[in-house]
Each structure stands twice: as structure tokens, then as C-alpha cells.
């Protein structure tokens, strides 16, 4: 849904529109992350809050977006929690933020409750079919698997991911 690179003005228009629930959830998430020792900064390029530098319970895998807040679990080679904006290559970081911003749009479209439940159910079903975490999740696929850092999904072809499991069964 956010696959093609939008124009700068298009991006600005998109960023202006955000549901109150999306903002509210982001504020709560940032407060939660701060309580766990994360640092908090604003990422201008996508209009999101980025929390980093600590493990924050509730955030999954390499990081999770809640409304307009991205809680990052980015680590360096030594396993220390670091700022993805400083640690990642600039292009890689921008891809990641575009991926997380796509999740913010999903919050706006569906609201936190429907998105939360939809995401969870999606992940459960995908897991039951043996797909690697995130790879068969429609919300991750819509946000872009590669940009999101899901490098282990292979081609990301849904049919082949789900076929993997039936091959195991047979
Ligand atoms: Zn994602």
C-alpha cells in the first residue's frame, strides 16, 4: 500500500492525517519505552517518534511500531542497544523508517484495536502453517518485508512460504 516511493508533497499530506488514537497510542508507547530506560527522539523524515537504547517489553523482534512511535530493539555487533539512525547505513535506515511509517498508516486505517487483533491473528495462522515470523503476515507484507529487515523470508512468496509446511507434513 506504500510500496512506491511517494512524492515529498504526497508524504507531507499523508503525515498531516493521523487519527487521535494513533497519536495517543504513540504517546503512551513512548512513555512506556522511556520508563524502561529507552531514549526518545523525533524522526523528522517520517514524522515519527523513535525510542531506542534499551529492551522494551511489548516490542517484538527488531522493533515494533505503536501508532506514531517506533520502539527499536536495534543492537550493535556487541549486543548493545543503539540508535538505528546512527548504527544503520543511511539508506537502510530510511527503508526501515518507511516500513515503520507504513505501519502508522495501518493504524490510521484500522485503528489500534483492529490492527492489533488482525496482526496477532495473522501471525498465529501464519505460524500454524509454518511460515517464519512476520513473513506471511499481510501487514508486514504490505509495509514491505525487505525494508522491514525481514531478510530471512526468501522471495517472500506467500504460496511458497505456506507450501514449506505442507511439504513437511507430507
Ligand atoms: Zn513491520
Neighbours of ion ligand 1 (CB under 5 A): 140, 143, 148
DSSP summary character for residue 131: P
| pLDDT tens, residue by residue, 29-39 | 999 999 999 99
pTM of the model: 0.84
**Distance from residue 149's CA to the centre of ligand 1 (Å):** 8
Q: How far is the CA of 46 from the centre of ligand 1 (A)?
A: 15
Distance of CA 65 to the CA centre of its chain: 5
SS3 state at 29:
helix
What is the predicted pLDDT for the residue at 109?
A: 92
Tell me the CA–centroid distance for residue 164 and ligand 1, in Å.
22
pLDDT band per the 50, 70, 90 thresholds, residue 154: confident
pLDDT at 18: 73
Amino acid at each position: 500500500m506504500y510500496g512506491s516511493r511517494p512524492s515529498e508533497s504526497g508524504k507531507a499530506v499523508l503525515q498531516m492525517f493521523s487519527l487521535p488514537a494513533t497519536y495517543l497510542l504513540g504517546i503512551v508507547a513512548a512513555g512506556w519505552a522511556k520508563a524502561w530506560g529507552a531514549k526518545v527522539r523525533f524522526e523528522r523524515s517520517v514524522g515519527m517518534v523513535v525510542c531506542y537504547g534499551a529492551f522494551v517489553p511489548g516490542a517484538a523482534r527488531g522493533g515494533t511500531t505503536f501508532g506514531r512511535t517506533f520502539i527499536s530493539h536495534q543492537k550493535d555487533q556487541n549486543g548493545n542497544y543503539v540508535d538505528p539512525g546512527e548504527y544503520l547505513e543511511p539508506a537502510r535506515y530510511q527503508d526501515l523508517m518507511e516500513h515503520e511509517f507504513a505501519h502508522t498508516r495501518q493504524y490510521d486505517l484500522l485503528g489500534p484495536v483492529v490492527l492489533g487483533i488482525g496482526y496477532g491473528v495473522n501471525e498465529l495462522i501464519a505460524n500454524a502453517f509454518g511460515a517464519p515470523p512476520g513473513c506471511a503476515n499481510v501487514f508486514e507484507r504490505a509495509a514491505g518485508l525487505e525494508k522491514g529487515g525481514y531478510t530471512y523470508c526468501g522471495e517472500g512468496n506467500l504460496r511458497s512460504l505456506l507450501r514449506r509446511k505442507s511439504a513437511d507434513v507430507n
